[in-house]
Amino acid sequence: MIADAATGVALALRGEGDPYALSRTLRQGDALALAAIRVLGADALAPYALGHRAGPGGEDESVVREALAAYPPGVAASDVSVWSYRGLIEASHAFLNGGADGWPRPPEAGAGWIGTDPWPRLSHRASQLAALALPGLAPGLAEALAARTDDLSRGFVRAVRRQDWLQAAGLGRWLARLPEVPPTLGLDGGLAFVRQMSGGDARVALHVVAARRFHGRGW
Protein backbone atom coordinates (compact mmCIF):
# COMPACT_ATOMS: atom_id res chain seq x y z
CA MET A 1 0.00 0.00 0.00
CA ILE A 2 2.80 2.42 0.90
CA ALA A 3 4.74 1.38 -2.17
CA ASP A 4 1.64 1.89 -4.34
CA ALA A 5 1.04 5.31 -2.91
CA ALA A 6 4.69 6.26 -3.34
CA THR A 7 4.57 5.07 -6.93
CA GLY A 8 1.46 7.18 -7.54
CA VAL A 9 3.19 10.27 -6.17
CA ALA A 10 6.37 9.61 -8.14
CA LEU A 11 4.39 9.18 -11.37
CA ALA A 12 2.59 12.44 -10.79
CA LEU A 13 5.89 14.22 -10.10
CA ARG A 14 7.21 12.91 -13.39
CA GLY A 15 4.12 14.30 -15.09
CA GLU A 16 2.93 10.84 -16.07
CA GLY A 17 -0.53 9.35 -15.62
CA ASP A 18 -3.78 11.14 -14.83
CA PRO A 19 -3.76 14.41 -12.89
CA TYR A 20 -2.97 13.54 -9.30
CA ALA A 21 -5.63 13.08 -6.70
CA LEU A 22 -4.58 11.49 -3.44
CA SER A 23 -8.11 10.28 -2.83
CA ARG A 24 -8.04 8.39 -6.13
CA THR A 25 -4.64 6.87 -5.49
CA LEU A 26 -5.86 5.34 -2.26
CA ARG A 27 -9.13 3.71 -1.43
CA GLN A 28 -11.05 5.87 0.95
CA GLY A 29 -12.20 4.58 4.26
CA ASP A 30 -9.47 1.99 4.28
CA ALA A 31 -7.44 1.97 7.49
CA LEU A 32 -4.36 1.01 5.51
CA ALA A 33 -4.84 3.96 3.17
CA LEU A 34 -4.83 6.33 6.11
CA ALA A 35 -1.73 4.62 7.48
CA ALA A 36 -0.01 5.03 4.12
CA ILE A 37 -0.75 8.77 4.14
CA ARG A 38 0.69 9.08 7.63
CA VAL A 39 3.80 7.17 6.62
CA LEU A 40 4.37 9.19 3.44
CA GLY A 41 3.69 12.37 5.40
CA ALA A 42 4.02 15.56 3.38
CA ASP A 43 4.87 13.50 0.30
CA ALA A 44 1.27 12.38 0.06
CA LEU A 45 0.59 15.92 -1.15
CA ALA A 46 3.86 16.47 -3.03
CA PRO A 47 2.32 16.66 -6.51
CA TYR A 48 0.28 19.67 -5.42
CA ALA A 49 3.52 21.48 -4.68
CA LEU A 50 4.06 21.63 -8.43
CA GLY A 51 1.46 24.37 -8.70
CA HIS A 52 -1.99 22.99 -9.22
CA ARG A 53 -3.44 23.06 -5.75
CA ALA A 54 -6.37 20.94 -4.75
CA GLY A 55 -9.50 22.90 -4.02
CA PRO A 56 -10.73 23.37 -0.45
CA GLY A 57 -13.14 20.94 1.05
CA GLY A 58 -12.40 18.24 -1.48
CA GLU A 59 -11.97 14.53 -0.92
CA ASP A 60 -8.22 14.90 -0.53
CA GLU A 61 -8.71 17.27 2.34
CA SER A 62 -11.02 14.92 4.15
CA VAL A 63 -8.78 11.90 3.68
CA VAL A 64 -5.78 13.81 5.04
CA ARG A 65 -7.85 15.00 7.99
CA GLU A 66 -8.82 11.40 8.66
CA ALA A 67 -5.21 10.28 8.53
CA LEU A 68 -4.14 13.03 10.93
CA ALA A 69 -6.92 12.09 13.30
CA ALA A 70 -6.21 8.37 13.11
CA TYR A 71 -2.45 8.47 13.68
CA PRO A 72 -1.47 11.34 15.94
CA PRO A 73 1.95 10.94 17.54
CA GLY A 74 1.46 9.57 21.03
CA VAL A 75 3.11 10.85 24.15
CA ALA A 76 6.03 8.47 23.63
CA ALA A 77 6.38 9.21 19.93
CA SER A 78 9.88 9.88 18.64
CA ASP A 79 11.00 13.28 17.41
CA VAL A 80 11.03 11.88 13.88
CA SER A 81 7.40 10.84 14.19
CA VAL A 82 6.38 14.26 15.47
CA TRP A 83 8.31 16.06 12.74
CA SER A 84 6.76 13.87 10.10
CA TYR A 85 3.28 14.57 11.47
CA ARG A 86 4.00 18.30 11.50
CA GLY A 87 5.13 17.99 7.91
CA LEU A 88 1.79 16.56 6.84
CA ILE A 89 -0.06 19.41 8.58
CA GLU A 90 2.26 22.00 7.01
CA ALA A 91 1.82 20.47 3.59
CA SER A 92 -1.97 20.54 4.04
CA HIS A 93 -1.83 24.26 4.81
CA ALA A 94 0.47 24.93 1.93
CA PHE A 95 -0.96 22.76 -0.80
CA LEU A 96 -4.64 22.12 -0.09
CA ASN A 97 -5.85 25.72 -0.16
CA GLY A 98 -7.79 24.90 2.94
CA GLY A 99 -6.28 27.67 5.00
CA ALA A 100 -5.12 27.08 8.54
CA ASP A 101 -8.56 26.65 10.04
CA GLY A 102 -9.78 23.45 11.49
CA TRP A 103 -6.54 21.50 11.18
CA PRO A 104 -4.81 19.98 14.17
CA ARG A 105 -2.35 22.33 15.79
CA PRO A 106 1.19 21.31 14.74
CA PRO A 107 2.78 19.64 17.78
CA GLU A 108 6.12 20.89 19.05
CA ALA A 109 8.88 18.72 17.67
CA GLY A 110 12.20 18.31 19.48
CA ALA A 111 15.07 19.84 17.53
CA GLY A 112 18.02 19.42 19.88
CA TRP A 113 19.24 16.34 18.03
CA ILE A 114 19.89 18.33 14.86
CA GLY A 115 22.73 20.10 16.57
CA THR A 116 23.99 17.32 18.81
CA ASP A 117 23.55 13.95 17.11
CA PRO A 118 26.72 12.30 15.82
CA TRP A 119 26.56 12.42 12.03
CA PRO A 120 25.53 8.79 11.39
CA ARG A 121 22.52 9.13 13.68
CA LEU A 122 21.70 12.61 12.41
CA SER A 123 21.79 11.29 8.87
CA HIS A 124 19.48 8.41 9.62
CA ARG A 125 16.94 10.71 11.26
CA ALA A 126 17.13 13.37 8.57
CA SER A 127 16.66 10.78 5.84
CA GLN A 128 13.39 9.71 7.43
CA LEU A 129 12.21 13.29 7.23
CA ALA A 130 13.04 13.71 3.56
CA ALA A 131 9.42 14.55 2.72
CA LEU A 132 9.97 17.80 4.61
CA ALA A 133 12.52 18.76 1.97
CA LEU A 134 9.60 19.82 -0.20
CA PRO A 135 10.01 23.48 -1.17
CA GLY A 136 8.98 25.89 1.54
CA LEU A 137 8.21 23.30 4.21
CA ALA A 138 9.96 23.26 7.57
CA PRO A 139 12.24 26.25 6.96
CA GLY A 140 13.66 26.01 10.47
CA LEU A 141 14.58 22.36 10.06
CA ALA A 142 16.15 23.06 6.68
CA GLU A 143 18.20 25.86 8.13
CA ALA A 144 19.42 23.75 11.02
CA LEU A 145 20.31 20.89 8.67
CA ALA A 146 22.12 23.28 6.35
CA ALA A 147 24.56 23.91 9.19
CA ARG A 148 25.40 20.20 9.02
CA THR A 149 25.59 19.78 5.27
CA ASP A 150 29.01 18.12 5.42
CA ASP A 151 27.77 15.63 8.01
CA LEU A 152 24.72 14.74 5.92
CA SER A 153 27.02 14.29 2.94
CA ARG A 154 29.08 11.84 4.99
CA GLY A 155 25.85 10.09 5.86
CA PHE A 156 25.14 9.71 2.15
CA VAL A 157 28.55 8.08 1.65
CA ARG A 158 27.96 5.69 4.53
CA ALA A 159 24.44 4.83 3.41
CA VAL A 160 25.62 3.93 -0.10
CA ARG A 161 28.44 1.80 1.31
CA ARG A 162 25.91 -0.06 3.48
CA GLN A 163 23.53 -0.38 0.54
CA ASP A 164 20.85 1.41 2.56
CA TRP A 165 19.31 2.90 -0.55
CA LEU A 166 16.31 4.43 1.19
CA GLN A 167 18.50 6.34 3.61
CA ALA A 168 20.82 7.40 0.81
CA ALA A 169 17.90 8.64 -1.30
CA GLY A 170 16.40 10.60 1.60
CA LEU A 171 19.73 12.23 2.36
CA GLY A 172 20.34 12.96 -1.31
CA ARG A 173 16.98 14.69 -1.43
CA TRP A 174 17.82 16.92 1.53
CA LEU A 175 21.21 17.68 0.06
CA ALA A 176 19.48 18.70 -3.17
CA ARG A 177 17.61 21.37 -1.21
CA LEU A 178 20.60 22.59 0.83
CA PRO A 179 22.68 25.34 -0.73
CA GLU A 180 26.26 24.24 -0.11
CA VAL A 181 26.61 20.55 -0.77
CA PRO A 182 30.31 19.69 -1.30
CA PRO A 183 31.03 19.45 -5.03
CA THR A 184 33.25 16.37 -4.58
CA LEU A 185 30.25 14.40 -3.28
CA GLY A 186 28.94 14.09 -6.82
CA LEU A 187 25.32 14.46 -5.76
CA ASP A 188 23.77 14.33 -9.23
CA GLY A 189 25.42 11.08 -10.18
CA GLY A 190 24.82 9.81 -6.66
CA LEU A 191 21.06 10.25 -6.89
CA ALA A 192 20.93 8.41 -10.22
CA PHE A 193 23.20 5.68 -8.84
CA VAL A 194 21.01 5.14 -5.79
CA ARG A 195 17.83 4.97 -7.86
CA GLN A 196 19.33 2.40 -10.21
CA MET A 197 21.00 0.30 -7.53
CA SER A 198 17.84 0.11 -5.41
CA GLY A 199 16.19 -2.11 -7.99
CA GLY A 200 13.01 -0.10 -8.32
CA ASP A 201 12.14 0.55 -4.67
CA ALA A 202 9.14 2.89 -4.85
CA ARG A 203 10.08 5.13 -1.93
CA VAL A 204 13.65 5.48 -3.20
CA ALA A 205 12.29 6.45 -6.61
CA LEU A 206 10.00 9.02 -5.00
CA HIS A 207 12.89 10.75 -3.21
CA VAL A 208 15.02 10.80 -6.33
CA VAL A 209 12.29 12.16 -8.58
CA ALA A 210 11.43 14.81 -5.97
CA ALA A 211 15.08 15.92 -5.83
CA ARG A 212 15.01 16.27 -9.60
CA ARG A 213 11.61 17.93 -9.90
CA PHE A 214 11.87 20.42 -7.04
CA HIS A 215 15.58 21.10 -6.82
CA GLY A 216 16.93 20.20 -10.24
CA ARG A 217 19.47 17.69 -8.91
CA GLY A 218 20.19 14.20 -10.16
CA TRP A 219 19.30 12.60 -13.43
Partner 1 sequence: MITDRTAPAESVTLTAEVENLVDSAEPDAVFRDTRECGGGLLLLGLLLISPPTPRPKTDAR
Partner 2 sequence: MTGGRGDPALLDRLVGDGLGWLDGARASFRLPPDVTTDADPNTTLKPLGELAELTELTRTAHPRREIRERADALFAFAWQETGEGELFAELIRGEPRATYPVELYGIFAQAGLRHAAVEELLVTTTGLRGWRVAREDHTRTLGVLNAERRIGLPRHAAADAEFAHTGLGLLPEPWTLDRKAAYGVTHDVFHLTDWGRARRRLPAAHAGYLRLWLPAWLECWLEEQLWDLVGELLAVTACLPDAPYDAAAWQRLAAAQTSDGAVPETGTATRSADPAETFLACYHSTLVTVFAGTLARIAATEAADGPAAAGRPPFESEAAP
Residue 109 neighbours by CB under 8 Å, 6+ apart: 79, 82, 83, 86
Residue 78 binding partner per list partner 2, partner 1, none, with a CB distance cut-off of 5 to 8 Å that depends on partner kind: partner 1
Q: Nearest approach, Cβ of 148 to partner 2 (angstroms)? A: 13
Q: Does 162 bind partner 1 (CB under 8 A)?
A: yes
Distance of CA 210 to the CA centre of its chain: 9
Distances (CA, A) of 21 to 27, 30, 47, 48, 84: 11, 16, 9, 9, 21
Q: Does 161 bind partner 1 (CB under 8 A)?
A: yes
Q: What counts of helices (H) and strands (E) characterise the chain?
A: 12, 0
Residue 77 binding partner per list partner 2, partner 1, none, with a CB distance cut-off of 5 to 8 Å that depends on partner kind: partner 1
Number of residues that bind partner 2 (CB under 8 A): 20
Nearer Cβ to partner 1 (16/76): 76
Number of residues that bind partner 1 (CB under 8 A): 26
Which helix (H) or strand (E) covers residue 189, if one does?
A: helix 187-197
- Which among 92-100, 110-118, 135-143, 161-169 is the span making contact with partner 1, rule CB under 8 A? 161-169
CB 89 within 8 A of CB 137: no
d(CA 160, CA 168): 6
Q: Does 179 bind partner 2 (CB under 8 A)?
A: no
Residues that bind partner 1 (CB under 8 A): 2, 31-32, 35, 38-39, 41, 71-78, 80-81, 84, 124-125, 128, 161-164, 167
Residues that bind partner 2 (CB under 8 A): 119-120, 150, 153-158, 160-162, 168, 182, 184-186, 189-190, 193
